[in-house]
Amino acid sequence: MPYVDRQNRICGFLDIEEHENSGKFLRRYFILDTQANCLLWYMDNPQNLAMGAGAVGALQLTYISKVSIATPKQKPKTPFCFVINALSQRYFLQANDQKDMKDWVEALNQASKITVPKGGGLPMTTEVLKSLAAPPALEKKPQVAYKTEIIGGVVVHTPISQNGGDGQEGSEPGSHAILRRSQSYIPTSGCRASTGPPLIKSGYCVKQGNVRKSWKRRFFALDDFTICYFKCEQEFEISLVNILKPCLY
């Protein structure tokens, strides 16, 4: 059965299916670390492994949408089996007994639980109240006209100078037009294109569906002009290479 170690992590042995639908389960030592926001599994208890031996698998808790007991149809010949639904992948694990299975399912659901503030929201901090009481003066920015073109699937905004020619007024000779991706392209702060608007904030939030009123965890990115969200941070990072549309569900 799972136990809590000195670092307040839930630990124990489970059998995990090597590949989905392979039917081959491997014995692994699992550590549920809520502080590090991840579920790790090792070949054995790390105390029995060689120094420096790392985990053979890992799963971020923010990717977990649901943990439930596997149905007989899913695993008819695997007792005490439960399934972790994370993104588009399922992880089937087998516990030692019924109580062991229920304890792991409850612990994983609790660790990955999405909490939504009830009506009224959270009380505002002193800093927020001060900022509302004395809003900073807005800096006036000169309005600049732009010519918009789509070149190779990329939205190109070219500043139009006051004298009628293309190019940014007051720019250095030989300067190029500002290139910006469409709204579906929101790279991470570390790899964000220098020509795009600066990323103000990014991270996980929960949002309510428009049709189905369930709450789901999504990765949001905010800049000066747009706010977009994706299924996960991985999809957000993939958008650096492939232009993806924001998640709409």
pTM for the model stands at 0.54
One fold for 3-112 and 199-244:
yes
- Return d(Cα 73, Cα 157) in angstroms, integer: 55
Average pLDDT, the chain: 74
| pLDDT reported for residue 10 | 94
pLDDT of residue 174: 41
pLDDT of residue 181: 37
Confidence (pLDDT) at 139: 58
Q: CA 72, CA 243: separation in Å to the nearest integer? A: 40
Residue ranges per structural domain of the chain: 3-112, 199-244
The domain defined by 3-112 carries CATH number 2.30.29.30 = yes
Distance CA 80, CA 106 (A): 14
* Residue-level pLDDT at 176: 39
pLDDT at 29: 96
Q: Domain spanning 199-244 has what CATH number? A: 2.30.29.30
Hey, what's the torsion of the CAs at 19, 25, 31, 33, to 10 degrees? 30
Can you give the pLDDT at residue 188? 43
Per-residue confidence in pLDDT tens, the chain, 249 aa:
789 999 999 999 999 998 888 889 999 999 999 999 999 999 999 999 998 889 999 999 988 888 999 999 999 989 999 999 887 789 999 999 999 999 999 999 999 887 666 655 555 555 555 555 555 555 565 666 666 666 655 556 666 655 544 444 444 444 334 333 334 444 444 444 444 567 788 887 877 777 777 777 788 888 777 888 887 776 766 665 554 445 544
Full DSSP string of 121-180: -PPPPHHHHHHHHSPPPPPP----EEEEEEETTEEEEEEE-TTSSBS-TTPPTTPPPEE-
**Residue 71's pLDDT is what?**
92
